[in-house]
Structure formats: C-alpha cells, structure tokens
Amino acid sequence: MAETLDWRRGEAGDLILAGARVVDPASGLDEARDVVIRAGRIAELASTGSASLDGAERIDAEGLLAMPAFFDPHVHLRTPGREDEEDPETGARAAAAGGYCGILAMANTDPVVDTAADVVALRERAAAEACVPTGFLATATRGMAGEELTEALELRDAGAIGISDDGLPIASSRVMRRVLAYQGLHGLQLALHEQDPELSAGGSMHEGEVSAELGIGGWPSVAESIMIARDCELAAYESARIHVQHLSAASSVEAVEAAKARGVRITCEATPHHLVLTDEALRSLDADFKMNPPLRTEFDRQALIAGLRSGAIDCVATDHAPHAADEKAEPIESAPFGVTGLETAFAVLHTELVLPGVLPLDLLVERMSAGARAFDFAQPRIEPGAPADVVLFDPAVEWEVGADGWESRSRNSCFKGRALTGRVQLTVAGGRVAFRRRSFALGVAS
C-alpha cells in the first residue's frame, strides 16, 4: 500500500512497541509481544521484554493494543473545490489520528475528478502533503452525469485506484451495464452509491415512523435495495465485480447475501454511524445526523451488525464527509448530507460494539482494514516481513468527542458529545510514525 499509494513518505525510523497486546486477526494472534519495526517492515514479534534494536525508539506499549492499521476505501477530501472543508493534508492527518494507514478519496468534488490530468494533479498533491498513503478514484461517468463513460484506461494509467460516481447513483440501467462491461478492459474496481433517485426524491431521512412524525421527506430503504439487486444482476450478467458502498438497510444486506450466495463478485461496506445510530437521532432536528444514505431503524442497524459479523458485509468504511459549519447550521432539509468519521470510527465501534460484547475485537479489527482487499491491496498484517502498518490503541482511555481537538478541517461529527472508551495513540504507516497523540509520551531510545 505504501508503495502503491501517494503520500509524504519521510524517513522511516526504527521502533519497538514494547509489551503491546498484539491482535492479528489473520493469524489469530492475540498475545503480549514486543513489536520490532525496522526499515519500514515488521522485523520481529519478540516475547515481551526481549527485543532490542540499536537506534530504535522504544515505546512502552504495555496495556495497549497493537493492531493492523485500518484502511478506509471511502473518504471525501473535498479537493479540488472545497479546500475550506478538507484537503489531502488535513484529511490524511485525520485518517492517521483515527488509526488509518491508507485511504481512498472519492471523485465527487467540485469540479469532479474525471480526467487523467485531475488524477495526476491530486496524486502530486498527496505525495507532497499526505501523511498516510492516499489513493484517488475517478468518476465512472463524465461529469458524474450518468450518461457517458469516463476514459477508464487512461484514468487507470494515470493512477486512479478505481471508479465511482459516489454521491450519485448511476440511474440508467443501460449506462450501468456499459460501465460494468467496460470494466473487462481496465479492471478497475467500481464503487457504487446505490439509491433509486425517483424513490428517494425529496428525502432527507429514512422513511418511517420518525419521518412521519417530523414531516421530513423520507427516503425509503427499498430505494437502496432495489438498486443493489439491479446491479448484482447486471454484474452477474456482465461477469463484472462491484463494491457496494455504505449499506444502510436490512433489505440491502439480504440482497448482498443472495448475490454472494449465487457467486456474484461483490464486496460491500458499512459505516460506523449506520452500525451505531438510528433515525431516532433525527428527533433532535440536528443536521449533523443527516447523511446519505440516512440512518435507519434499529432493525436495519441489527441487520448491518449481523452482516458485518457474518461477512456479508466485508468491511467498515467511514464515508468521511466534511462540511463547513455554516452549511450544517441549516434546517435539516436544506443542510448537506454527510458527517465526518475518520477520527472516531474505531473508538466508536470499540465502545458501542466490542465492549458490550456485540462483536469480537479481532473480527472488528479485520473488518477495519478489509476494504484494502476490495481494491486489490494487501490487507495490513502484523507478522514478520509485512509492511509496518500498525495502530497502537489504548482501550482504557475515556474521552468525549468534542467540538475541538480535530485534525480534520471540519467538525460535523454525529458522535459529538458522546463518551467513548479507547483511543488511538500512535499510527505507523509504511514504517513511518504518521500520528502520535500529543499526550502519548515519547519513549527512551535504547
């Protein structure tokens, strides 16, 4: 990943994470070890207290979790066009603070990313500014208009990681079929925002009891699952593969399960906010709970959790969507969709799903980086020889998601004010320290 994506590499320093509880889901390892990082790779998992390496920084990690760092296949960096909300530097800083060693940025910027030149310009910027490896998708259709295909061969050669019209669905079945068929030529993963625009027209929140009560336009769950079902059929017909973004509904999980059972090549993701919150949050009439797709019912939330547990849902993605405070300080129906998520994702899921025993820790850790595989990257591992993509997480720290203290340029978090248990202290990407919490003391070089 560090070799493939763009970032401001800097010097790799050698590290010893001494006495960390190493959780590596792929090998089943869950034990205290000294993690030795040398020349950008994991050199050794030594027994506690036994590791030494000349010139390495020794970090006392006793009581902390050392896990494969996370990968987010779905973030919005708002560049070009809205650098006041986020840019590759601040977005990558937010990712590092959340424990991520790789992020993929969506193309629905203003203007959109739909030419090779756009991709090259963004890659150059990330190479100069981003503290974690960053990849860029291009749009699937020109101008995201859903009508003409983008030049995917050229985009691929320019370094686009995939294609997506995220933010908008590809409404036309005919165009969708062409996009899928053309995938055979370039091989890029296609990420899909599934929303029937007719059925969801005028909707600002889930259609259900709460929207009935509030009189806010509803966007029903069938508007998502119908499109997923359509695209699974088309993907099967064209022997293509798809990645379905931000599942929100029980009926969508069912559609994905059925497609996977039939052998359709499909991966999908769910966000922390859909896994933790429901449309009840909208009773506050606070636009920081407005996102697309919308928060749905407890039944849907439980189906998403079950899907994540069973593997029907492959990975967690944040859909990190920064917005200017002034734009979110509007009534719900005119405020923009989207919430930030990179800096809170794992802490939220650790607090709400792992600590209560809903999901095992190792399963969640696996799902936090499995998005890499959907886009043809190796999934981070903690094993000797692997690239050093490691997050150090203090599972006992209690903190409150606040109005301040963000690395992101925007603060539109739907978890603001929430008490969380556990926080990322250190993120190592490709052997470089990408983030170190200020309160996390420097170790003494051995």
Partner 1 sequence: MMRDLLSIRDLERSDVERILERAASFAEVGRREIKKVPALRGRTIVSLFYEASTRTSSSFELAAKRLSADLVSVKASGSSVEKGESLKDTIATLSAYGPEAIVIRSPEAGAANLVARWTDAAVVNAGDGKHEHPSQALLDVYALRERLGELDGRSIWIVGDVLHSRVARSGILAFRMMGAEVTVCGPPTLIPRGIESALGCRVADSLDGLGDADVVYALRMQRERMRESFVPSIREYARAFQINERRLSPRQLVMHPGPVNRGIELSGEVIDGDRSLIVGQVEAGLVVRMAILYELLAGEPRDARDGAASLEPPTQIGEPA
Round to whole Å and give the CA distance between 259 and 129.
40
User: Minimum distance from CB of 214 to partner 1 (Å)?
Assistant: 6
User: Minimum distance from CB of 195 to partner 1 (Å)?
Assistant: 18
Round to whole Å and give the CA distance between 75 and 93.
13
Binding residues for partner 1, rule: CB under 8 A, are: 207-218, 220, 285, 326, 329-334
User: Minimum distance from CB of 411 to partner 1 (Å)?
Assistant: 14
User: Minimum distance from CB of 364 to partner 1 (Å)?
Assistant: 32
Nearer to partner 1, 218 or 371 (CB): 218
Nearer to partner 1, 40 or 293 (CB): 293
Q: What angle do CA 187, 188, 194 make, to 5 degrees?
A: 125
Round to whole Å and give the CA distance between 114 and 164.
10
Round to whole Å and give the CA distance between 210 and 297.
9
Crossing angle between the packed helical segments 250-261 and 298-310, to the nearest 10 degrees = 30
Q: What angle do CA 85, 90, 91 make, to 5 degrees?
A: 80
Q: Cβ(377)–Cβ(71) under 8 Å? A: yes
Which is it for the CA torsion 113, 117, 121, 124, positive or negative?
A: positive
Q: Cβ(247)–Cβ(307) under 8 Å? A: yes
The catalytic residue among 319, 376, 389, 404 is 319
User: Minimum distance from CB of 225 to partner 1 (Å)?
Assistant: 16
SS3 386: coil
User: Minimum distance from CB of 290 to partner 1 (Å)?
Assistant: 10
3-state helix, strand, coil in the chain (%, to 5): 30, 25, 45
Nearer to partner 1, 8 or 296 (CB): 296
Nearer to partner 1, 334 or 446 (CB): 334
Which distant-in-sequence residues (6+ apart) come within 8 Å of 222 by Cβ? 196, 199, 249, 251
Residue 350's DSSP bridge partners are none
Nearer to partner 1, 162 or 208 (CB): 208
Nearer to partner 1, 31 or 209 (CB): 209
Round to whole Å and give the CA distance between 56 and 361.
29
Nearer to partner 1, 75 or 210 (CB): 210
Closest CA to 194 of 220, 161, 218, 216: 220
User: Minimum distance from CB of 377 to partner 1 (Å)?
Assistant: 42
Which distant-in-sequence residues (6+ apart) come within 8 Å of 419 by Cβ? 351, 398, 399, 400
User: Minimum distance from CB of 111 to partner 1 (Å)?
Assistant: 23
Round to whole Å and give the CA distance between 188 and 375.
8
SS3 95: helix
| ω into 293 cis (within 30 of 0) | yes
Give the number of other Cβ atoms within 10 Å of residue 87's Cβ.
21
Nearer to partner 1, 216 or 392 (CB): 216
Please confirm, yes or no, whether 319 is among the known catalytic residues.
yes
Closest CA to 423 of 412, 435, 434: 435
The residues assigned a catalytic role are 319
